[in-house]
Structure 1
Amino acid sequence: MSRSSFGGRHELGQNFLTHKPTLARLCDLVRHTHGPILEIGAGDGALTRRLATLERPLVAIDIDEHRVRSLRRKLPDVQVEHADAMTYPLTAPVVVGNIPFHLTTPLLRRILGSDDWQRTILLTQWEVARKRAGLGGSTMMTAQSAPWFRFILQGRVPAWAFSPQPSVDGGILEIIRRGAPLIPTDQKKAYEQFVKAVFTGRGRNLPQIVRHAGPNNPGRAKSALKVAHVPHGALPRDLTVDQWCALWRVLTA
């Protein structure tokens, strides 16, 4: 296959999934959703072919124009588009894809900032999937997004399941938009700034950090942490979504 106008295989960051059980797992997760499907990073169509068997409206996009032409010939019933996932409208209820590992964070930010989809299933770098799902502690991005989304780790994928083989394992991350947000949407920006202030704030312990994250005196910060049932010695990454939300409600009451 000739080079894409965006560069060769490595320039595109493509690691194609060849592990049939993982392909079946991804398709099965999509099977339990409803509505039209958007696949990002279709590549050679290993997952696209399985998604097509669900007999639902399916759009598959890829940045490599040669693979797009090939997929159009092989799957005439699928709408295959030559497009970049960083700019293509994410308007389908279900988004799924094996995404380039180096684009995981910016693509996740774009997905979380889009309003139309209901469920997203991504094959990402293992460490990213693990952290987004809160295993071993939450990240700032997850804490900022958790009142509006649920993050579920659906499995680990060994590096040898890809071709070419990456240096790290992959992880299946499912993101579900909450039907009822835990915090009013009109407070989203302020809440995100608060979480950032806590994660990046100064202080030797959480009461001090929370105190400096806003106009809070020491007593108010300690009282809010107590009401939110935050244990002594906890760090920002240790807080659950319920604790974050309770802390926010108390401090903004």
Structure 2
Amino acid sequence: MDKIATPNKTKEIVTKHGFYFSKSLGQNFLIDKNIIDKIIKGARITKDSYVLEIGPGIGSLTQELAEAAKKVVAVEVDKKLIPILSETLKDYKNTEIVNSDILKLDLKSLIVDRLDINKTIVVGNLPYYITTPIIMKFLEEKIPVKSIIIMIQKEVAERMKAKEATKEYGALSIAVQYYCNVETILTVPPSVFIPQPKVESSVIRLDVLDKPRVEVTDEDVFFQLVKDAFGKRRKTLLNALSSGTLQLNKALIKEALEDCKIDEKRRGETLSIEEFALLANRISEEI
């Protein structure tokens, strides 16, 4: 099979099947094999790897994953792409296509039944509008995967790996870093896609930690506290938390902040994940 990830081959496949790109599904197909090679290298795919791919499109990345890995299960939501994938990937017996919405799948069962709970790596070129829900589904539901390598909007990638006291730092930074180590593999220009997106993309690697980065008494309290702290970024911690969804009274917050040696005039964006955990654990004692 010829390499799919070239401008000519991609146009040939799309034209042959009368395929029209869907803006609502955020479809942008890779046409640069060098980029794909860097993704596979950054994902550390070996002949012993099992891969769950999200959004294979016409199979540009899938083809190279199939050649590098032991097995690939690719989940594609667009039913119009299934006959195309059946043709472009027909020579790869280690590849299986699933026509489904990744957010509605029982991912744990899929991995247990068709992949390997100890060796599965998630790879995907995600539509920008659905990036966060997909990532958080894997993390919050504790889906058994080693790592998640995804191409997403560059600014979202920067938010995921941001540290405290930066403008990119927010609730998403903490949510992802609570579960993972975050690393940027490469930045990808719009020119390597058909059609070209309007923004730069980044490929990031999320290595799932054996246990969360910080120990918290109550995860619900921890994440709600984070959400409240960032919900009103211009307010001090004392004011933001006292008017948040946890409905904490100022006296309790003031005492908790003092016990944790955190200045009540600081803002949420200045707290490290460790400080948020410390504060959440102290507040959990009172509610």
**Where does the alignment leave 5 or more consecutive residues of structure 2 unmatched?**
1-16, 112-119
Cα deviation 1:156-176 (Å, max 9, x = unaligned): 211112111111111112222
Residue 80 of structure 1 pairs with residue 107 of structure 2: no
Cα offset, 1:124, TM superposition:
0.6
Matched to 2:267, the amino acid is: L
Contact 2:43/2:205 (8 A) holds in 1: no
Q: Could you tell me whether the CA contact under 8 Å between 2:225 and 2:241 is conserved in 1?
A: no
50, 53, 74: which is aligned to 2:67?
A: 53
Match in the other structure for 1:179: 210
Structure 2 distance, partners of 1:20, 1:234, is: 47
Q: Secondary structure at the match of 2:151?
A: strand
CA distance in 2, matches of 1:109, 1:82: 21
Deviations 1:46-65 (A, max 9, x none): 11111112231210121233
Paired position in structure 1 for 2:85: 71
Classify 1:205/1:12 alpha carbon distance in 2 versus 1 (closer, same or farther; 3 Å): closer
1:243 to 275, 280, 285: 275
1:206 and 1:236 in contact (8 A); partners too: yes
- Flag as ranges the 4+ runs of structure 1 deviating above 4 A: 32-35, 183-186, 210-213
C-alpha offsets along residues 185-220 of structure 1, whole Å, 9 cap, x if unaligned?
772112111111222258742344356563453652
Q: Secondary structure at the match of 1:10?
A: coil
2:52: which partner in 1?
Answer: 38
C-alpha displacement at 1:40, in angstroms?
A: 0.6
Q: Which residue of 1 aligns with 2:180?
A: 149
Question: Which amino acid in the other structure matches residue 88 of structure 2?
Answer: K
**2:42 paired with 1:24:** no
Deviation at 1:73, TM superposition (A): 2.8
Q: Out of 115, 129, 134, which is 2:162 matched to?
A: 134
Task: Provide the residue aligned with 1:15 in structure 2.
Answer: 28
- Give the AA of the match of 1:151: V
5+ residue gaps, structure 1:
none
Structure 2 residue 134 is the aligned partner of structure 1 residue 121: no
SS of match in other structure, 2:83: helix
Per-residue Cα deviation, 1:101-145 (whole angstroms, up to 9, x for no partner): 222233233233332223111101111111111164322133234
2:231 aligned with 1:192: no
Q: Residues 35-79 of structure 1, C-alpha deviation per residue, up to 9 Å, x if partnerless?
A: 421001001211111111223121012123343222223324111
Give me the identity figure in percent: 23
Aligned equivalent of 1:170: 201
1:157–1:172 CA contact under 8 A, matched in 2: yes
SS of 1:86 mapped into structure 2: helix
Instruction: Please state if 1:223 is matched with 2:258.
Output: yes
- 1:106 counterpart = 2:133: yes
Distance 1:59 1:193, change over 3 A: same
CA distance 1:60–1:140, change in 2 (3 Å): same
Task: After TM superposition, give the deviation of residue 239 of structure 1 in Å.
Answer: 2.7
Structure 1 residues 233 and 168: CA distance shift in structure 2, 3 A: farther
Structure 2 CA distance for aligned equivalents of residues 60 and 202 of structure 1: 40
Q: Is the 8 A contact 1:138 1:239 kept in 2?
A: no
User: Aligned equivalents of 2:31 and 2:226: distance in 1?
Assistant: 39
1:222 and 1:210 map into 2 onto residues whose CA distance is 11
Distance 1:65 1:226, change over 3 A: same
The residue type equivalent to 1:159 in the other structure is P
Aligned mates of 1:143, 1:73 — CA distance in 2? 42
Question: What residue identity is the alignment partner of 2:268?
Answer: P
- CA deviation profile, 1:19-48 (whole Å, cap 9, x unmatched): 323211211122258742100100121111
Kept after mapping to 2: 8 A contact 1:201/1:212: no
Report the more deviating stretch, 142-151 or 20-29: 142-151
Write the distance in 1 (CA, Å) between the matches of 2:161 and 2:105: 25
Aligned length: 247
Q: Distance in 2 between matches of 1:219 and 1:99?
A: 42
Q: CA RMSD in A?
A: 2.9
In 2, distance between residues paired with 1:39 and 1:202? 36
